[in-house]
Amino acid sequence: MTQQRCVVLGRVGAAYGIKGWFHLHPFADDPEGWLKMPTWWVSDKEPDAQGLAMWCAVSPESMRVHGDGLVVKLKGISDRNASEALRGFWIGAPLEVLPELDSNEFYWADLLGLNVVNSQGECLGRVDRLIETGANAVLIVIDATGEKPRERLIPFVDDIVHQVDKTAGQITVHWAADW
């Protein structure tokens, strides 16, 4: 195990079958593209907001669509007990080994720490972390300007997020300051 920063890609779900397969809950649009990476990293502890955790290298063997989800087989995991032991583990990879994205795509790690402003130019806070709800990702924005920090949950969807400018360190949203 190595302490390092990784982009969290997904989470291990329930075991599937008796030969070491498990369900994968991806936090990205193209998890099948992960098979191009010879090494994934897993952690039994939730990484901090920057992806820092104790990570262990694993090698993916196979992945396939099953129903409306994915199932995965790792090299060296050959039975149900071994795959059940991984349930809840986080899957990640260092940013430098991840595929390049299109200009309108982002890894969650790209969004952490960015300032969030609304269409009226009011600062709503900084992105502290993101969560996946099933329907969409949600920005957890912390506004620490008042006496007590305020947490805002802002859906990361096209109707609300107008622009992500990584160079300027800012996300512009259609969201009122009093929501």
Map out the domains of the chain as residue ranges: 2-97, 108-173
C-alpha dist (Å) from residue 72 to 9, 63, 91, 173 = 14, 4, 12, 36
Query: DSSP states of 57-124 as a string?
Result: EE-EEEEEEETTEEEEEETT--SHHHHHHTTT-EEEE-GGGSPP--TT---HHHHTT-EEEETTS-EE
What predicted TM-score, i.e. pTM, was given to this entire model?
0.69
Strands 137-143 and 150-155: antiparallel
Least confident of 21-25, 63-67, 117-121, 132-136: 132-136
Q: Write out pLDDT tens, residues 40-56.
A: 999 999 888 777 899 99
As a whole number, mean pLDDT of residues 135-146 equals 91
Q: In the prediction, which pLDDT does 29 show?
A: 67
What CATH number matches the domain at 108-173, 2.40.50.250, 2.30.30.240, 3.40.50.300, 3.40.50.1390? 2.30.30.240
